[in-house]
Amino acid sequence: MSDRTAEATGFQEQAPYDATIDLRTDFVMVYGLDESTAERIERWREAGYRVHLVTGISWGNYQDYLDGRWDGSDHWADAQTAGDGKPILHGHSTDIPYMVPTFAFTEYLIEKLRPVIELGVEGIHLEEPEFWARAGYSESFKREWQAFFREPWQPPHSTAEAHFRSGQLKQHLLSRSLDRVTSVLRDEALHQGREVRFYVPTHSLLNYTQWQIVSPESRLRTLPSIDGAIAQVWTGTARTPNVYAGKAAERTFETAYLEYGIAQDLTRGTDRRMWFLHDPIEDHPDRTWEDYLANYQRTLIASLLHPGIARYEVAPWPNRIFNRPYLREGSTERQPIPPSTATSYLIAMNSLRDLDQPDVRRESDGPRIGIALSDTAMFQRWSPGGSNSGQYDGLQDALALEGREQLHFSDFYGLALPPLYDGQQVCPVQLENVIDTPDALEDVDVLVLSYEFQKPVAPGIHYALAGWVNRGGTLLYVGDDADPYHEIRSWWTGRYPTCADHLAEALGTERDGADLQQVGLGHVRFLPTRPADFTESPERAAELVMAIREIAEAGGHLWKSTNWLSVSRGPYLIGAVLTESNATHIVEGNYLDLLDPQLGIVHHRELSPGDLTWLRDLTYDNETLLASAGRVSNWHQDPTTITFTCEAPSGVQVVTALRVPAIPTTIQANGIPLTTTRHDAEAGVLWLHHPGEPAGTELSITL
């Protein structure tokens, strides 16, 4: 119950150690490089944590590099620059630009990080390698263009081809820098007899594409010194609006579900680690406590519906969660965190350590639907002659943003949301992985693919897809060939009208017409429609669902429409009623409610559209410890006594639920009778309440 070696949960913090933010996870990521870094690392280590360090690789407090103090040369030419000649700045800063990862800047990062190795951290996280799609006008980028393409620089927004090539170069530069930094530092650590792991906390490919940012994404799998990643999916990314059935809206749960889905492919099929991030607050400072909690739970449940991942970053910046005031519904005054909200967050954070369950069950046995998504989608986030949505990073009102139609990324969501809202198992699939990962499509029955917003990086993708279809896979291609990016210089141009024509040749099929074609043991259909058209109305969404259903049933898969997405992971039932549903869903049984700060009992619950649930089945096993807002350690149980230590941040109210059939004879906390208890004889559950203490509260129960 207290093993930290698996590093199942962790958090990121820049503030110095404080008992109010001591979440008692397995590890902590100390943020930032400054004169206090060594002291902060040591203090968190003294508190019992495995310690990592995290710093930005594309932006940060790197003024000594920019102004020449590092090597005597001014480096503002290495700032990412927009078409108006102005540097692109991070957040609301005036002197922190996003950087072009030149050789010089990369060597600077190595020198800045070199002393960290001697501080004994177990992992270094190089956060958010990002290059804005609207950048590409700095002098350093122009030089990199000429070196990479061996031809003069072209303004990235002058043509579709120039923009696509700009994205290719941006991804190359970020990957090159990451490779050099991690390889050099790993080697130097080994020379010192140390083992340091390197991770990349990164937004999902879906979010970076939607926000018009280029990042390495699938390239991370090819970098030998990268040990894994953190999927930075949270309320701020997932509430970016999209369009379904003609309506633009925030769809936090569904968007997060798709984001976490594609993020898994950064490490799927490898021995590298993946953590899913949750953020109880998000970066927008003017929402209410109620809004933060509701949307946090939407992302939380979305992540738990992907049972292939069981490691979590439970929070970035707990200092802003537990020590900063925010608005309450109906009030204009900022208030500290409500006690029940703090307890609710901590119940979730501590329950996450128990999600690595071998027993995974789903109510639905329907087809598993993959929506292909390529890195190249990041390179196409501009249309010649179209509007530019500017820089969106989650802090603006996206529904009022100029150019929001571009931000919606309707070509992707037009393919993903209709089957998802029909209750099917939908998951984006990293297209590049099919080349070098034999089982990349092992969990996919029907693959939906379009080249109207992305392109295949190599013809080998089509040969891999053809092999998968021949073995029984089902492929639905959607596209009308209207995308101007079909005309760019690439491996198919001059040989085939579009890359989809090469796909048809590899499959041995015809593109003419929209009939279902059998290929080996599988099936293929080409649907000559623009993917974004399926966002226009409920009827168009239903049209796509019918097309996917027909091809799935041709492949022998049963199809059942539902409004309920759920999975059981050991004793845990996780589920959500889809927001676009018109019906409720009823859950019946004997459960403990992990989203209830009181950990109440649930026998019957009717869930409305948009409702979520995370329940612990009390009939699944006979475990005594059911749930707690604290970290339980030093557990001892015999026929007459239960003793344990419960660790939690200072200032919070802890609730712990135990399976205890009869009222105990005595209950003590730190040797003093505990009066804040409750027992339910019918359920056989005992609840203990006490204040949080990082050093731990000693609980003793006599049965």
E strand segments, 618-652: 625-628, 631-637, 641-647
Question: Residue 513 is encoded by which pair of tokens?
Answer: 């017409």
pLDDT at 637 (0 to 100): 97
Q: How far apart are alpha carbons 273 and 370 in whole angstroms?
A: 22
**β pairing state of 312-316 and 9-13:** parallel
Nearest to 383 by CA among 406, 399, 401: 406
Q: Going by DSSP bridges, is the β-strand pair 368-373/425-430 parallel, antiparallel, or unpaired? A: parallel
Q: What tokens does 219 get?
A: 């390239």
Q: What is the spatial distance between Cα 86 and Cα 83, in angstroms, rounded to a whole number? A: 7
Contact between 81 and 141 (Cβ < 8 Å): yes
Angle of helix 160-191 relative to helix 139-149, nearest 10 degrees? 90
Beta carbons of 253 and 421 less than 8 angstroms apart: no
Q: Running along the chain, 703 residues long, what does each successive block of 10 average in pLDDT?
A: 85 98 98 95 97 95 92 94 93 88 97 94 97 95 98 94 97 98 97 96 97 96 97 96 95 98 96 97 93 98 98 97 96 96 98 97 91 98 57 64 74 98 97 93 97 97 98 97 95 95 96 89 97 97 98 95 97 96 95 98 97 98 97 96 98 97 96 96 97 98 95
**Distance separating alpha carbons of residues 545 and 539, to the nearest angstrom:** 10
Reading phi first (left if > 0) and then psi (alpha if -120 to 50, else beta), residue 136 is in left
Residue type, 385: G
For residue 639 the two structure tokens come to 């026929």
Q: Produce one character per residue of 584-594: b if its CB has 16 or more CB atoms within 10 Å, e if not.
A: ebebeebbbbb
How many whole angstroms separate alpha carbon 670 and alpha carbon 142?
66
642 has which bridge partners? 637, 701
Residues, the chain, total? Answer: 703
CATH fold for the domain made of 368-554:
Rossmann fold (3.40.50)
CB atoms within 10 A of CB 689: 17
Q: How many CB atoms neighbour CB 302 within 10 A?
A: 27
Cβ-contact 313, 619 below 8 angstroms: no
Round to the nearest angstrom and report the end-to-end CA distance of the chain.
21
Phi, psi of 249 (to 5 degrees): -160, 160
Which DSSP string do the residues of 100-123 spell out, in sequence order? ---HHHHHHHHHHHHHHHTTT-SE
Distance between CA 615 and CA 610 in Å, rounded? 16
> What crossing angle do the helices spanning 538-554 and 410-421 adopt, rounded to 10°?
70
Strands 517-519 and 564-569: unpaired
- Which H/E stretch holds residue 161? helix 160-191
Q: What angle do CA 120, 215, 92 make, to 5 degrees?
A: 80
258, two tokens:
């798709």
Got the DSSP string for 436-459? H-TTTTTT-SEEEE-SSS---SST
* Residue found by looking up tokens 């009778």 in the block: 673
Token pair in block for residue 501 = 């024509």
On whether the CB atoms of residues 118 and 192 are closer than 8 A, the answer is yes
| Closest by Cα among 256, 251, 261 to 279 | 256
Scanning 525-583, the segments in alpha helix (DSSP H) are: 538-554
* Nearest C-alpha neighbor of 618 from the set 659, 666, 651, 563: 659
Q: Distance (Å, rounded) from C-alpha 509 to C-alpha 501?
A: 10
Q: How far apart are CA 60 and CA 53, in angstroms?
A: 14
3-class secondary structure, 461: helix
Q: Roughly what angle, to the nearest 10 degrees, separates helices 103-117 and 160-191?
A: 30
C-alpha to C-alpha distance for 551 and 70, rounded to whole angstroms: 61
DSSP summary character for residue 408 = T
Distance, CA of 29 to CA of 59 (rounded, Å): 18
